[in-house]
Amino acid sequence: GEDVEQSLFLSVREGDSSVINCTYTDSSSTYLYWYKQEPGAGLQLLTYIFSNMDMKQDQRLTVLLNKKDKHLSLRIADTQTGDSAIYFCAETAYNAGNMLTFGGGTRLMVKP
Protein backbone atom coordinates (compact mmCIF):
# COMPACT_ATOMS: atom_id res chain seq x y z
CA GLY A 1 0.00 0.00 0.00
CA GLU A 2 0.91 3.65 -0.04
CA ASP A 3 3.31 4.90 2.59
CA VAL A 4 3.91 8.20 4.40
CA GLU A 5 7.09 8.60 6.45
CA GLN A 6 8.10 11.16 9.05
CA SER A 7 10.94 11.47 11.50
CA LEU A 8 9.86 10.69 15.04
CA PHE A 9 11.18 13.63 17.00
CA LEU A 10 12.31 17.24 16.66
CA SER A 11 13.57 19.56 19.37
CA VAL A 12 14.01 23.31 18.91
CA ARG A 13 14.48 26.39 21.06
CA GLU A 14 11.71 28.92 21.51
CA GLY A 15 11.93 31.60 18.82
CA ASP A 16 13.76 29.38 16.32
CA SER A 17 12.16 27.98 13.18
CA SER A 18 11.02 24.36 13.09
CA VAL A 19 11.00 22.27 9.95
CA ILE A 20 9.09 19.00 9.95
CA ASN A 21 9.59 16.76 6.96
CA CYS A 22 7.43 14.10 5.34
CA THR A 23 7.89 11.80 2.36
CA TYR A 24 5.15 9.89 0.57
CA THR A 25 5.01 7.27 -2.14
CA ASP A 26 1.62 7.78 -3.80
CA SER A 27 2.23 9.57 -7.09
CA SER A 28 -1.51 10.23 -7.42
CA SER A 29 -1.68 12.20 -4.17
CA THR A 30 -3.93 15.19 -4.70
CA TYR A 31 -4.26 16.74 -1.27
CA LEU A 32 -1.57 16.83 1.41
CA TYR A 33 -2.33 17.84 4.96
CA TRP A 34 -0.65 18.76 8.19
CA TYR A 35 -2.51 17.93 11.38
CA LYS A 36 -1.56 18.88 14.95
CA GLN A 37 -2.31 16.73 17.97
CA GLU A 38 -1.96 18.19 21.44
CA PRO A 39 -1.71 15.85 24.46
CA GLY A 40 -4.96 14.02 25.19
CA ALA A 41 -6.76 15.55 22.24
CA GLY A 42 -7.83 14.66 18.73
CA LEU A 43 -6.19 15.91 15.57
CA GLN A 44 -6.74 19.42 14.28
CA LEU A 45 -6.10 20.42 10.70
CA LEU A 46 -3.33 23.03 10.54
CA THR A 47 -3.04 23.52 6.83
CA TYR A 48 -3.20 21.69 3.53
CA ILE A 49 -1.83 22.02 0.02
CA PHE A 50 -3.07 20.85 -3.34
CA SER A 51 -0.66 18.86 -5.44
CA ASN A 52 -0.59 21.55 -8.14
CA MET A 53 0.99 24.01 -5.69
CA ASP A 54 4.62 24.32 -4.62
CA MET A 55 4.17 26.46 -1.57
CA LYS A 56 1.51 27.73 0.76
CA GLN A 57 1.96 30.29 3.52
CA ASP A 58 -0.43 30.88 6.38
CA GLN A 59 0.82 33.25 9.08
CA ARG A 60 3.72 31.44 10.83
CA LEU A 61 3.24 28.28 8.78
CA THR A 62 4.88 27.59 5.42
CA VAL A 63 4.23 24.37 3.53
CA LEU A 64 6.62 23.36 0.76
CA LEU A 65 5.84 20.58 -1.70
CA ASN A 66 8.39 18.94 -3.98
CA LYS A 67 6.30 16.63 -6.16
CA LYS A 68 9.27 15.23 -8.03
CA ASP A 69 10.84 13.96 -4.81
CA LYS A 70 7.44 13.38 -3.10
CA HIS A 71 8.60 15.49 -0.19
CA LEU A 72 6.46 17.74 1.96
CA SER A 73 7.66 20.04 4.72
CA LEU A 74 6.07 22.23 7.35
CA ARG A 75 8.02 25.22 8.58
CA ILE A 76 6.89 26.97 11.75
CA ALA A 77 8.45 30.39 12.16
CA ASP A 78 9.16 31.84 15.62
CA THR A 79 8.28 28.54 17.32
CA GLN A 80 6.53 28.92 20.66
CA THR A 81 6.16 26.52 23.59
CA GLY A 82 2.49 26.21 22.65
CA ASP A 83 3.59 24.64 19.37
CA SER A 84 4.83 21.57 21.28
CA ALA A 85 2.68 18.72 19.94
CA ILE A 86 2.69 15.80 17.53
CA TYR A 87 2.43 16.79 13.88
CA PHE A 88 1.01 14.39 11.34
CA CYS A 89 1.44 14.52 7.62
CA ALA A 90 -1.39 12.92 5.62
CA GLU A 91 -2.25 12.48 1.97
CA THR A 92 -5.19 11.47 -0.14
CA ALA A 93 -5.77 11.03 -3.84
CA TYR A 94 -8.73 12.47 -5.72
CA ASN A 95 -10.16 9.01 -6.34
CA ALA A 96 -9.49 7.76 -2.80
CA GLY A 97 -12.85 8.80 -1.44
CA ASN A 98 -11.37 11.17 1.12
CA MET A 99 -9.47 8.33 2.81
CA LEU A 100 -6.33 9.68 4.40
CA THR A 101 -3.01 7.89 4.77
CA PHE A 102 -1.14 9.24 7.78
CA GLY A 103 2.52 9.34 8.63
CA GLY A 104 3.61 8.13 12.05
CA GLY A 105 3.79 11.64 13.45
CA THR A 106 6.67 13.90 14.53
CA ARG A 107 6.81 14.95 18.15
CA LEU A 108 7.94 18.59 18.34
CA MET A 109 9.43 19.71 21.62
CA VAL A 110 10.02 23.43 22.09
CA LYS A 111 12.49 24.35 24.82
CA PRO A 112 12.21 27.76 26.50
Partner 1 sequence: DAEITQSPRHKITETGRQVTLACHQTWNHNNMFWYRQDLGHGLRLIHYSYGVQDTNKGEVSDGYSVSRSNTEDLPLTLESAASSQTSVYFCASSVGQGGEQFFGPGTRLTVL
Q: Is 108 exposed, middle or buried (0-12, 13-18, 19+ CB in 10 A)?
A: buried
What does the alpha-carbon distance between residue 72 and residue 81 come to, in Å, rounded to a whole number?
23
Residue 52 backbone dihedrals phi, psi, to 5 degrees? -90, 10
Question: Quick check: 91 binds partner 1 (CB under 8 A)?
Answer: no
Question: Quick check: 88 binds partner 1 (CB under 8 A)?
Answer: yes
Count of residues in the chain:
112
Name which position in 7, 21, 31, 56 contacts partner 1 (CB under 8 A).
31
Name which position in 7, 10, 21, 48 contacts partner 1 (CB under 8 A).
48
Give the residues lining the site for partner 1 (CB under 8 A): 1, 4, 30-31, 33, 35, 40-45, 48, 88, 92, 94, 97-100, 102-105
